[in-house]
Amino acid sequence: MVPGNRVYLLLVLGIAIAPILAIFFGISLSIALTLLFDVVVLGLMVVDGVRVRRDRVQVTREFPSRLSIGRDNSVVLTVKSGNADAVIQIPDYYPTGFDVSVPTLSTNIAKNSTQELTYTVQPTQRGEFAWGNIQVRQLGMWGLAWDDWKIPQKLRVKVYPDLVGLRSLSIRLTLQSSGSIRQFRQLGIGTEFAELRNYRNGDDLRLIDWKATARRVGPYGNTTPLVRVLEPEQEQTLLILLDRGRLMTAKVQGLQRFDWGLNATLSLALAGLQRGDRVGVGVFDRQMHTWIPPERGQNYLSQLIERLTPIQPVLLESDYLGAVTNIVQRQTRRALVVLITDLVDITASTELLAALSRLAPRYLPFCVTLRDPKVDHLAHTFTENVTDGYVRAVALDLLAQRQVAFAQLKQKGVLVLDAPANQITDQLVERYLQLKARNQL
């Protein structure tokens, strides 16, 4: 039981009128009257607190079975009242470290009714966390006491990579595949036969199927030529190498760089599986920590999520050459090899350059780096004092060295994508779809 604000106001009022009573009735009697008043107020508070227990509200909690890191996950508290109107406060014991939209929920609910209270939590780490009981406070009818109790609902919750983003991407890719969204297609750049259609102005004459056209010749010898429509080859191999070394432990926009890379890995894997490719994933630091062999099929994505979710970055220098050598030994056929990491300067990127150069031209190497948008902001913000000027100069130098490193990678035939960590997923998937459409693999 917790005293309400009205109790404190009444007690303060009793103290305030005590001097007035002393003037008319004397000090001894005024003290006695004040104490009697306080006892009555406290007694009424106890009665009010006991009465409210007969009409306690019932509260249940619901939220997704798998929470997504870096996303607002909705938590719904369903409140059912008893035979009296209720004023309640609910501080839910969500896991420590979660960002929450409303720490304490407050509402008035009519008798014999049900109401849903919603707030959101945003996890910043993956893993398993303890969710505590539900703390409930209900104000008495006279507003003198809060009945305070706990509803036991302790449980363990798991935080996964960005499953919300994966669902959105899956819907978008499905719409593209079904033709609801017009696909980007260039005739003549594919290798697999898709269909025959009538010749149109601008079509490549080399794609006319003369045999099929001859079979359609009418009684007067006139017919429209038929053109072969080619589409990019399906069932290719996509290998994703995700760095979990020291550079991936830094936080960018509230999440570790590794978490941004893991989200990008799963999104790219989903796109590859949707397009019929065999997808394999390797996570490495000084050695190959986890290797999931290439497979195809939509059910394979669930296996990737379960295998990759528990992995955390470590403070170890990454061995790019060792990771690439491991891939070359495992994958003998040509494949698109996407390496997701970050680089600091030209010197630090030397080993990365040597490793990716080993893949070309037998494989198609693709280097994806996760840039910190804070560095971009510092580099492009004008300053007025010396200290900020030095900071800006360092940021500009870092960006310049990255560009030099990327230029060297491109000279070796390596595809490059450098984007802010919080924007990398969409750009990587779009780049992959372009590679598929242009049949660059």
Distance CA 305, CA 124 (A): 17
pLDDT at 220: 52
Q: What is the DSSP string of 373-391?
A: HHHHHHHTS--SSHHHHHH
Kindly give the parts of the chain with pLDDT less than 50.
Answer: 180-189
Per-residue H/E/C for 289-332: EEEEEEECCCHHHHHHHHHHCCCCCCCCCCCHHHHHHHHHHHCC
- Cβ neighbors of 339 (< 8 A, separation 6 or more) are 241, 243, 320, 323, 324, 352, 355, 356, 365, 366, 367, 368
The helix or strand, by DSSP H or E, that contains position 242, with its residue range, turns out to be strand 237-243
pLDDT at 215: 77
SS3 at position 234: coil
Judge contact between 161 and 124, C-beta under 8 A. no
Task: Tell whether pTM > 0.85.
Answer: no
Distance set, CA 253 to CA 278, 290, 370, 371, 422 (Å): 32, 26, 12, 11, 7
Among the listed residues 278, 396, 385, the one whose alpha carbon sits nearest the alpha carbon of residue 337: 278
pLDDT at 402: 86
CA 197 from centre of chain: 43
| Distance spanning both ends of the chain, measured CA to CA | 70
Angle between helices 350-359 and 320-330 (to 10 degrees): 10
pLDDT at 166: 94
pLDDT at 221: 54
pLDDT digits (tens, 9 = 90+) for 240-261: 999 999 999 999 999 999 999 9
pLDDT at 143: 86
pLDDT at 408: 87
Distance CA 431, CA 415 (A): 10
pLDDT digits (tens, 9 = 90+) for 156-166: 999 999 999 99
Distance CA 172, CA 167 (A): 9
pLDDT at 179: 57
Distance set, CA 321 to CA 293, 308, 417 (Å): 19, 22, 20
Distance set, CA 243 to CA 259, 261, 265, 316 (Å): 11, 8, 11, 10
- Using omega within 30 degrees of 0 as the cis cutoff, is the peptide bond preceding 361 cis? yes
pLDDT digits (tens, 9 = 90+) for 137-196: 999 888 888 899 999 989 999 999 999 999 999 999 888 876 544 444 443 445 556 677
